[in-house]
């Protein structure tokens, strides 16, 4: 009897992941986002306050080292943050929902249904 392995069961086919970034800076403040990985430059995108989002999708690599780094700008403020780190995010979400606030980025916690997984900006 032959044994057939499904590619995903064998770990060869990764599920697609998505990152969605929303602007929670405050009324009248537009958010500019520029995300890159080691392989992709996703360009610059403008997100108006509470009227839309920027979303991108990708397949995490087999090694579990996928990383997307984003620059965020509004008014005269500029911050950076690793919006997707495989070993931090892969087990928590296939659609990673982020709210960008002036003091920190926060990811949706699927256990509490709140944006309470907040992180410091990168130095």
Residue spans of the domains in the chain: they are: 17-118
Structure tokens at 62: 């087999």
Report yes or no: 69 and 80 within 8 Å, Cβ to Cβ: yes
pTM, to two decimals: 0.86
CATH of domain 17-118: 2.60.40
Scanning the structure block, which residue is given the tokens 């087999």? Answer: 62
pLDDT at 92: 80
78-102 confidence digits (pLDDT tens): 999 999 999 999 888 899 999 999 9
Pairwise CA distance, residues 123 & 113, whole Å: 28
Distance, in Å, from the CA atom of 70 to the CA atom of 79, rounded to the nearest integer, reads 8
Q: Along the 123 residues of the chain, how does pLDDT read in single tens digits? A: 444 333 444 444 557 899 999 999 999 999 999 999 999 999 999 999 988 899 999 999 988 899 999 999 999 999 999 999 999 998 888 999 999 999 999 999 999 999 999 999 998
What is the spatial distance between Cα 54 and Cα 71, in angstroms, rounded to a whole number?
Answer: 13
């Amino acid at each position: 009897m032959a044994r057939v392995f499904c590619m995903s069961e064998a770990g060869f086919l990764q599920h697609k992941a998505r990152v969605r970034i929303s602007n929670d800076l405050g009324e009248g403040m537009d958010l500019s986002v520029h995300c890159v990985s080691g392989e992709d430059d996703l360009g610059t995108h403008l997100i108006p306050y509470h009227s839309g989002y920027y979303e991108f999708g990708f397949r995490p690599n087999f090694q579990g080292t996928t990383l997307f780094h984003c620059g965020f700008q509004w008014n005269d403020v500029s911050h950076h943050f690793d919006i997707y780190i495989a070993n931090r995010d892969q087990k928590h979400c296939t659609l990673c929902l982020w709210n960008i606030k002036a003091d920190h980025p926060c990811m949706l916690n699927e256990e509490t249904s709140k944006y309470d997984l907040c992180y410091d900006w990168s130095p």
